Amino acid sequence: MSFQYLESNCRGDFGTWPVTASLASACHVARGSMASCNLILYAIPCSRGRLNVIYSKDIAPALGAEIFGIDLAKPLVPNIVQEIHQIFLDRSVLVFRNQALTPKQQVRFARYFGSVVPYPFLKGLECCPEVLEVITRPEDGVNFGGGWHTDTPYLEIPSLGSVLYAKELPPVGGDTIFSNMYLAYDALDRETRSFLDGQQAVHSANKRYAKPADRSQIYGQIKQAGNKKNMSLENYHPIIRTHPETSRKSLFVSSLHTTTIKGMEEKAADSLLARLYEHQASDAFTCRVVWEPDTLVIWDNRCVLHNALFDYAGYKRRMHRVTIEGDRPT
């Protein structure tokens, strides 16, 4: 089967399509540009001589892609995992709609990308400890994940990525904005890039989680793990980080967790970081994910910042989150 066959015969409805007997004999990969879509991933034979097609569509020029035609409740074959992983590396944020998933199925999907680890400070579900239930209650004045950040940079080994699944949503609001730190780095002037190369930033959990009253409000109904030693976690990492899989450079600081630049006078460090924070939030680097029930999103914490908007005060929002183990930034 050639891509030209798909392009000429399969415009419009991207669900299941009639195919010839020869096409129904195997699973094929085809790449190219198709209508408003960017990549055709797989044409998979299914019942009654029809073909199920998995494809992706970019969310914004900077990053993000929605994947269609796939049921994550079922195990994925290795070739499809490989294709999805490549789009993950290319687009950094993947969105899957209409996924009816159990916690264990969400964990299984996360494991296609790496080992799953518990989130620090907080307890997971009783039935599936790897899954953290994140709840914002109607009476809460702040939300979990609000503000630009990458997850767990205060650990020696920050997470590779996060997998977030929408269980219960407010009637309006609650979107998440993502920002591409490859592009943020590329857009820096040569002098700034040269200065930042080799510099290390300090990241602290205390900047966000130090006060018990703040933790209680931010976490809503999330259960505290009770390990107070973890509350002093602090680590430093390169400000310019090289992605271990793509070898691309990105800007690795965030307003939520970065406290200073190692070895730099405090006032100068604060001034430089403020400039970087403003730069990171440029609309040119971002995409916006509008949540719907049963939407699953995975993002690459190694090269992406995210900001969970809190514009739904008075309503409940309940999400399931899984954390994927990463590597020490270099």
The answer to whether residue 234 is domain-embedded is yes
**149 among known catalytic residues:** yes
Q: For 140-179, give the DSSP string.
A: -SS-TT-SSB-S-TTSSS--SEEEEEEEE--SS---EEEE
Query: How far is it, in rounded angstroms, from Cα 20 to Cα 24?
Result: 6
**28 among known catalytic residues:** no
* pLDDT tens readout for residues 129-156: 999 999 999 998 888 878 999 999 999 9
The answer to whether residue 70 is domain-embedded is no
Contact present, 234 and 167 (Cβ < 8 Å): no
- Which listed residue (151, 241, 300, 320) is catalytic? 151
Residue 237 has pLDDT above 80, yes or no: yes
Residues 217-245, mean pLDDT to the nearest whole number: 70
Give the per-residue pLDDT at 205: 84
The total number of structural domains in the chain stands at 1
Nearest CA among 318, 60, 326 for reference residue 165: 318
The answer to whether residue 41 is domain-embedded is no
Burial letters 13-29, b for 16+ CB under 10 A, else e: ebebbebeeebbeeebe
The answer to whether residue 71 is domain-embedded is no
The answer to whether residue 59 is domain-embedded is no
Please give the residue range of the domain that contains residue 220. Answer: 92-324
The answer to whether residue 172 is domain-embedded is yes
What angle (nearest 5°) sits at the alpha carbon of residue 236, between those of residues 233 and 238? 150
pTM, rounded to two decimals: 0.85
120, two tokens: 């620090």
Give the per-residue pLDDT at 120: 79
- Which listed residue (243, 257, 306, 320) is catalytic? 306
Query: How far is it, in rounded angstroms, from Cα 28 to Cα 95?
Result: 23
Contact present, 84 and 94 (Cβ < 8 Å): yes
Residue predicted with more confidence, 129 or 226: 129
Query: How far is it, in rounded angstroms, from Cα 34 to Cα 328?
Result: 38
Alpha helices in 23-119 (DSSP H): 78-91, 103-111
> What percent of the chain is predicted at pLDDT more than 90?
68
- CATH number for the domain harbouring residue 183: 3.60.130.10
**189 among known catalytic residues:** no
What angle (nearest 5°) sits at the alpha carbon of residue 91, between those of residues 88 and 92? 60
The answer to whether residue 73 is domain-embedded is no
* pLDDT tens readout for residues 277-315: 999 999 999 999 999 999 999 999 999 999 999 999 999
153, two tokens: 């940079």
The answer to whether residue 223 is domain-embedded is yes
Query: How far is it, in rounded angstroms, from Cα 75 to Cα 108?
Result: 8
Residue predicted with more confidence, 16 or 135: 135
Q: pLDDT band at residue 51, thresholds of 50, 70 and 90?
A: low
**306 among known catalytic residues:** yes
Query: How far is it, in rounded angstroms, from Cα 20 to Cα 51?
Result: 9
- Which listed residue (149, 203, 237, 317) is catalytic? 149
Q: pLDDT band at residue 47, thresholds of 50, 70 and 90?
A: low
